[in-house]
């Protein structure tokens, strides 16, 4: 992912294969190599579903739903359905 300025308010996005868009979706930003705890999760939203899955997004930055601060963060996505709640580490997000 391209670096994001800490002055920006942007959607951070992640595609979730197999998601219908009806699940509860949450993002967590953690120090690299650290798994998220219960208090790290932030409610995200879905874009329009496709036949293969759906893109989740969270508005981050000074005017967004969450402001992670400067640094390089591991991005985690959790999609909670009726039975399953898979958690994915989707890569790193650099914020400058």
Give 29-71 pLDDT, tens digit per residue.
999 999 999 999 999 999 999 999 999 999 999 999 899 999 9
Mean residue pLDDT across the chain = 96
Residue 1, in any domain of the structure: no
CATH number at residue 70: 2.60.40
Instruction: Check residue 40 and give its pLDDT.
Output: 97
| Distance (Å, whole) CA 49 – CA 65 | 22
Residue 77, in any domain of the structure: yes
Instruction: Check residue 1 and give its pLDDT.
Output: 79
Phi, psi for residue 39 in degrees, rounded to 5: -85, 0
Kindly tell me the sign of the dihedral angle through the C-alpha atoms of 66, 88, 96, 72.
positive
Total domain count for the chain?
1
Residue 57, in any domain of the structure: yes
Instruction: Check residue 65 and give its pLDDT.
Output: 84
How is residue 27 written in tokens? Answer: 């993002």
């Amino acid at each position: 992912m391209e670096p994001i300025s800490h002055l920006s308010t942007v959607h951070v996005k992640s595609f979730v294969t197999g998601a219908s868009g009806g699940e509860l979706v949450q993002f967590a930003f953690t120090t690299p190599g650290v798994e998220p705890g219960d208090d790290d999760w932030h409610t995200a939203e879905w874009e329009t579903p496709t036949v293969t899955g759906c893109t989740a997004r969270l508005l981050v930055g000074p005017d967004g739903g969450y402001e992670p601060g400067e640094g390089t963060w591991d991005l985690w996505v959790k999609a909670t359905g009726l039975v399953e709640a898979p958690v994915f580490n989707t890569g790193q997000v650099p914020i400058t």
